[in-house]
Amino acid sequence: MTEKDVIVLGIESSCDETAISVVKNGRQILSNVVNSQIPIHTLYGGVVPEIASRNHIDNISLVMEKAISDARISLSDITAIGCTYGPGLVGALLVGLSYGKALSYALKKPLVGVNHIEGHIAANYITHYKLEPPFLCIMMSGGNTQIVNVKSYTEFEVLGRTRDDAIGEAFDKVARVVGLGYPGGPKIDKLAEEGQAVIELPKTHMEGMDFSFSGIKTAVINLHHKEPDIDKANLCKSFEKAITDMLMEKVKMALKISKCNKIVLAGGVSANTYIRSEFEKLKEKNIEVYMPDLKLCTDNAAMIASAGYYNYMAGKISDLRLNAVPNLKLD
């Protein structure tokens, strides 16, 4: 490291992953430690907020020790602390945020509050070293589905968003009903590879660039209740294709209206095999397509550290009064 290097410690605890990462200059991961609670919440078919918060408390110091050890740095080497403060589960957010504020106070290092959605976008800066704004981003996760005009590293305009269920939420609810369990996205992805999209499912066409996924989710659930012996692989493939068709319709509209030729994927659902393959086809139309590494699609702190770096460089420093905002918006 040199004196000019900016080392950001990222902290992420918005849902059920306790994560801390050290990133240099916004792009280079020095360490990226994630403690996942999936085995715990699988027993309940989804994330239980109170259990998530308690597990964050139990694990965050251990995760911190490993992150610093893996990065081979000392606490004095840290330039700033980037910490998720929303959106997410309020109890879970407060654990990571309180820990970050305590570190900021004790180490006398700047605190940078980071929007979780902004972090998912920034994951692409780590994967694609030369990627720079402006570009369009399709944000797809369990809590959010948005088309975002990324004007700069710290300026965002939401062009369209879901009016009801997020895409990841729809995946999880369908998976639970058809008996695949939690987390639903990866399990539908895997089973769908064995099926064919032969089942006609209704698609909701919203005005503008907004989405609605509650209709198709309900249609799949009702169909399964009506025909419990239906081929689950075909049902998952048909659901996956219909969802992707709805996504692509809006993305193509956004590309045309914005006259942008660069699209970036972000969020946990961007790990879906079929969705990634369909977006790859846009390259045939001279559209630049960027996707995060699979390990950076789901919640992690490297993406928070990267976003924290760009906010820090823009002078966006938080004070110790920063509080968790569970319904935090991007714009």
* DSSP secondary structure, 276-312, as one string: HHHHHGGGGGT-EEE---GGGTSS-SHHHHHHHHHHH
Q: Identify the residue whose tokens are 């079929």.
A: 274
What are the phi and psi torsion angles at 216 (to 5°)? -70, -35
pLDDT for the residue 2:
67
In a domain, 230, yes or no: yes
Q: How far apart are the first and last CA of the chain?
A: 35
Together in a domain, 144 and 114:
no
pLDDT for the residue 1:
63
Q: Are 305 and 82 in contact (CB under 8 A)?
A: yes
Q: Are 21 and 67 in contact (CB under 8 A)?
A: yes
pLDDT for the residue 7:
98
Together in a domain, 22 and 96:
yes
The stretches in the chain having pLDDT less than 50 are: none
pLDDT tens per residue, range 154-203: 999 999 999 999 999 999 999 999 999 888 899 999 999 999 999 999 99
Domain that residue 14 falls in = 7-122+297-313
Together in a domain, 139 and 167:
yes
pLDDT for the residue 12:
98
In a domain, 279, yes or no: yes
The identity of residue 3, as a single letter, is E
Write the CATH number for 62: 3.30.420.40
Distance CA 27, CA 284 (A): 28
Together in a domain, 213 and 308:
no
Burial of 324 (0-12, 13-18, 19+ CB in 10 A): buried
In a domain, 158, yes or no: yes
Q: Tell how strand 288-290 and strand 262-266 pair up.
A: parallel
Q: Identify the residue whose tokens are 């180490």.
A: 107
Rounded to two decimals, what is the model's pTM? Answer: 0.95
pLDDT tens per residue, range 189-243: 999 999 999 999 999 888 899 999 999 999 999 999 999 999 999 999 999 999 9
Which of 164, 170, 163 lies closest to 141 in space, CA to CA?
170
In a domain, 254, yes or no: yes
Distance CA 145, CA 76 (A): 38
Together in a domain, 155 and 204:
yes
Together in a domain, 288 and 302:
no
Together in a domain, 207 and 259:
yes
Together in a domain, 304 and 252:
no
SS3 7: strand
Distance CA 11, CA 293 (A): 19
Together in a domain, 145 and 284:
yes
In a domain, 99, yes or no: yes
- Number of compact structural domains in the chain: 2
Distance CA 142, CA 188 (A): 14
